[in-house]
Amino acid sequence: MTVLYRLRIALLYLMLGLTAAVWCITGVVVTPFMSFRNRYLYIAYSWCRCAVWMTRWLVNIQYQVTGWEHVPKQPCVILSNHQSTWETFFLTGSFEPLTQVLKREILAIPFFGWAIWLLKPIAINRSNPKEALKQVAEQGPERLKKGIWILIFPEGTRTPVGQPGKFTRSGASIAAATGLPVLPIAHNAGMFWPKEGWSKRPGTIQVIIGPPMYAEGQEPRAVAELNQRAERWIREHTSQLERQESERRLSL
């Protein structure tokens, strides 16, 4: 990694911090008087698209998406593997309006957390999994009825490339309860924006959007089956993308 590229990485983080501060502070002041959709467009959608653009411009991390034709017209539950910060930017800037399942401690962060609170997140206590699952099951269908996409990272937290985490079934549970599908998404962002550290690697992130998947009923067995089906699809396609990128690098 050259000195110039390291400087570009530092500049990226500086710009992300500065722009986030501006968006959040002004968002807290201005957006409470807006409709929810306009509030989302101002606080999250526009800034996340800006973040993806800065990532492309400053550190040359491009992206390519396959499967846009699979995105349903009606909002549903989005399930994605979680390897980096990049996919949070990308997905938040690709679906609108959208809410996420996140740990409630984030809401206590001055301005940033307050701005996130305005976007109606499903803020859970991760130390109490049973209560968190109940909360998601109650609030998830409510958000969908209001035309809001729900983004869930079933692994709960970012995981290193090649080390997937436990796949929770909260997203499948919401889908089964509402009769709506889950939309599986796989990517290899962690190979360019690693979970740990500040390092980045230029290249093209591959994103695959799969066909919507429906539960065959609402009982626990149907929820488990849908969750396993989505997990299998995401795992297989993520591994395929990681393998292809590794082979490409070896061939250089």
Q: What is the pLDDT of residues 163-195, one digit of tens each?
A: 888 888 889 999 999 999 999 999 999 999 998
Query: What confidence category does residue 54 fall into, taking pLDDT thresholds of 50, 70 and 90?
Result: very high
Question: Does the pLDDT value for residue 133 go beyond 90?
Answer: no
Q: Which fold has domain 3-251?
A: Glycerol-3-phosphate (1)-acyltransferase (3.40.1130)
Domain ranges of the chain: 3-251
Question: Does the pLDDT value for residue 130 go beyond 80?
Answer: no
Question: Does the pLDDT value for residue 126 go beyond 80?
Answer: no
Rounded CA gap, 95 and 247, in Å?
32
Please give the pLDDT value at position 78. Answer: 97
Residue/partner pairs of 170-173 with CB below 8 Å, 24 or more apart: 170/101, 170/132, 170/133, 170/136, 170/137, 170/140, 171/77, 171/78, 171/79, 171/227, 171/230, 172/77, 172/79, 172/215, 172/223, 172/224, 172/226, 172/227, 172/230, 173/133, 173/136, 173/137, 173/140, 173/223
What percentage of residues in the chain have a pLDDT greater than 90? Answer: 65
